């Protein structure tokens, strides 16, 4: 998904303050004008928000989105989603239901695909993905890492001797994607829930953060057999907090592996 109107992707607007400042400028508003529109006494609140000196509440973000929305900046719902994304506000089941008809129809895709938010909470998965990974039947709204590290979970059983490799690469990718969110409440809460799970602390401590343009999993059991598959991710148009990930074979061996693993077990 492209950022709100006037925001070029190369601008890399990552904080609430940056987004508010750019959109306010696009609308031609002074700080005091935006403050009054939001029902605040003076410009000091807007100044603190734009310099990221305070963390706005959900209610404040709603007010900002209502008063920053304009044909020159984009619809209110889109701006609110970007502000939520920057602030670390995860989508709720109610919000997911509200945009259900706008989500990609991954159920009809041949390639395994999954829809998650930026915290790796899982909202949709097609049958090829569920079969390939052993995703639990009740997965909606659950965190992917929690399901992956469950001691007696179906993902461990399905991935068998490849589980350690997949778990390590998943932790590496999660750390890459969420490094700047480490101080956000949802991140701290998730790590506290993950720590008691078998092997998580060990893998988290040794996996580290590695540079990677994209995640390519080598599913082979030997160096001579490549068996590579890639995880390709992109924003969901309906809400920038959501990502759709497709699993795509990188070579013939990877394609054969996926066909074999995605076939329902008798």
Find the mean pLDDT for residues 17-36: 96
Greater confidence, 237 or 188? Answer: 188
First to last CA, the chain: 40
Pairing state of beta strands 121-125 and 113-117?
antiparallel
* Run of H or E including 122: strand 121-125
Find the mean pLDDT for residues 215-236: 62
Q: What pLDDT, on a 0 to 100 scale, did the predictor assign at position 224? A: 43
Q: How confident is the model at residue 216 (pLDDT cuts 50, 70, 90)?
A: very low
DSSP structural state of residue 90:
P
Q: Provide CB contacts within 8 A for 130, sequence distance 6+.
A: 139
**Where do you find CATH 3.30.450.180 in the chain?**
93-262
Does the structure show a pLDDT above 90 at 225? no
Where helices occur in 54-182 by DSSP H, the ranges are 58-68, 76-87, 93-98, 127-133, 144-149, 154-159, 163-178
Return the exposure string of 159-191: e unless at least 16 CB atoms fall within 10 Å of the residue's CB, then b: beebbeebbbbbbbbbeeebeeeeebebbeebe
Q: What pLDDT, on a 0 to 100 scale, did the predictor assign at position 112? A: 93
In whole numbers, what is the pLDDT of the chain averaged over residues?
86
**pTM score, two decimals?**
0.82
Does the structure show a pLDDT above 70 at 209? no
Percentage of residues in the chain having pLDDT higher than 70: 82
In degrees and rounded to multiples of 5, residue 207 shows phi and psi of -70, -40
Q: Which residues pair with 233 in a beta bridge?
A: 245
* pLDDT tens digits along 117-169: 999 999 999 999 999 899 999 999 999 999 999 999 999 999 888 899 889 98
Environment class of residue 222 by beta-carbon count within 10 Å: exposed (0-12), middle (13-18) or buried (19+)?
Answer: exposed
The alpha carbon dihedral of 110, 253, 212, 150 has a sign of positive
In degrees and rounded to multiples of 5, residue 21 shows phi and psi of -60, -45
Query: Is the domain covering 9-87 a CATH 1.10.260.40 domain?
Result: yes
* pLDDT tens digits along 236-260: 988 989 999 998 876 665 566 666 6
Beta carbons of 194 and 145 less than 8 angstroms apart: yes
How many C-beta neighbours within 10 Å does residue 151 have?
Answer: 8
The closest alpha carbon to 70, from 105, 37, 119, belongs to: 37
Greater confidence, 12 or 62? Answer: 62
Percentage of residues in the chain having pLDDT higher than 90: 67
In whole angstroms, what is the distance from residue 97 CA to residue 113 CA? 19
Domain 93-262 maps to which CATH number in 1.10.150.80, 3.30.450.180, 3.40.50.300, 3.40.50.620? 3.30.450.180
Find the mean pLDDT for residues 194-204: 95
Q: What pLDDT, on a 0 to 100 scale, did the predictor assign at position 237? A: 87
* pLDDT tens digits along 72-130: 999 998 899 999 999 999 999 999 999 999 999 999 999 999 999 999 999 999 999 99
**Where do you find CATH 1.10.260.40 in the chain?**
9-87
Q: What pLDDT, on a 0 to 100 scale, did the predictor assign at position 263? A: 58
């Amino acid at each position: 998904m492209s950022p709100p109107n006037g925001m070029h992707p190369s601008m890399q607007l990552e904080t609430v303050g940056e987004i508010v400042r750019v959109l306010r400028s696009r609308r031609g508003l002074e700080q005091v004008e935006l403050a009054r529109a939001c029902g605040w006494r003076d410009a000091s609140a807007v100044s603190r928000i734009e310099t990221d000196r305070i963390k706005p509440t959900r209610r404040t973000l709603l007010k900002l989105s209502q008063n920053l929305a304009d044909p020159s900046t984009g619809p209110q719902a889109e701006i609110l989603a970007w502000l939520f994304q920057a602030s670390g506000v995860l989508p709720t089941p109610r919000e997911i239901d509200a945009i259900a008809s706008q989500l990609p129809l991954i159920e009809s895709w041949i390639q395994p695909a999954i829809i998650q938010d930026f915290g790796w909470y899982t909202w949709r998965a097609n049958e090829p993905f569920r079969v390939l990974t052993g995703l639990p039947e009740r997965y909606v709204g659950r965190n992917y890492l929690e399901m992956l590290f469950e001691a007696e979970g179906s993902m461990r059983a399905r991935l068998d001797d490849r589980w350690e490799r997949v778990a390590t690469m998943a932790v590496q990718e999660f750390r890459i994607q969420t490094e700047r969110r480490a101080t956000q409440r949802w991140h701290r809460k998730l790590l506290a829930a993950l720590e008691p799970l078998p092997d998580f602390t060990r893998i988290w401590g040794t996996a580290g953060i590695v540079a990677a343009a994209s995640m390519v999993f080598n599913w082979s059991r030997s160096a001579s057999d490549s068996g590579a598959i890639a995880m390709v991710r992109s924003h969901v148009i309906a809400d920038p907090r959501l990502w759709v990930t497709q699993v795509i074979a990188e070579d013939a061996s990877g394609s054969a592996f996926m066909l074999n693993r995605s076939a329902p077990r008798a």
